[in-house]
Amino acid sequence: MSCTVQAFSAPTVGTVPSVALMSWRTERAKRLDELVRAHSHMSGTGPGRRWQTRQVVYAMILRLAGEFQGYSRDLHDLAAEVFATQLGDGAPAVEGAVRILATRNRKLDTGNAQPGALGNDFGALDLQLWPELQAAYSSRASDWNKNLEALNTARNGIAHDDSSKLAKVESDGYRIAQVATFTRLRKSMDQLAHAMDDVVAGHCADLFSIARPW
């Protein structure tokens, strides 16, 4: 089975993207695209070839989960820096303390970017992430939440050889060994990344009565 690199449609917000989102669009996208091309170069229908393509799709799922976690952590770092700058008011010691408090016990540093982890970590910045996404992007936020949960459950099933987790996502309608599922999840994560970039920038601007930081 072959696949092609696809362009992903994201929410249009009319704002300048953050450094985190630019990295998601470029370096992180490039790494994902390399795996997509590796899959597309495989052909044939024999059992050995099917096993190989399955492993590449699994690698694509693992990489997608990792890249989205990295993006989310980068975005959180940027928001924490806004907090440090605004609350520190030019005092390096205060700014440093705020950075530490904003990222202390951050779940994105130790676990997957599950919906609950995102809610917890951005909650430390006084942002109710999922309610804000729901308010700004209506029904799409629920789909993003569901797809993010499925992505990370699949990631854990693959990484830890846990067939029960893979069975769970399969029963929820995600055929993890198929490249079409990766494409579906990647498109959803791309949209979610753009939406998070927008919501977090708006939150920082509103909270401190400043221009949007990006």
Chunked into runs of 10 residues, the chain (214 residues) has average pLDDT values of 43 75 98 93 61 89 98 98 96 96 96 97 98 95 98 98 97 95 98 98 97 96
The H helix count followed by the E strand count for the chain is 9, 0
* Cα dihedral 197, 199, 201, 203 in deg (nearest 10): -150
pTM as predicted: 0.90
| pLDDT per residue as tens digits for the range 70-84 | 999 999 999 999 999
Res 3: pLDDT: 42
CB-CB contact of 200 with 19 (8 Å): no
Residue 163: partners with Cβ closer than 8 Å, 6 or more residues away: 157
Residue 26: partners with Cβ closer than 8 Å, 6 or more residues away: none
| pLDDT per residue as tens digits for the range 48-63 | 566 578 999 999 999 9
Res 42: pLDDT: 73
- Cα distances (angstroms) measured from residue 74 to each of 53, 108, 181: 31, 10, 26
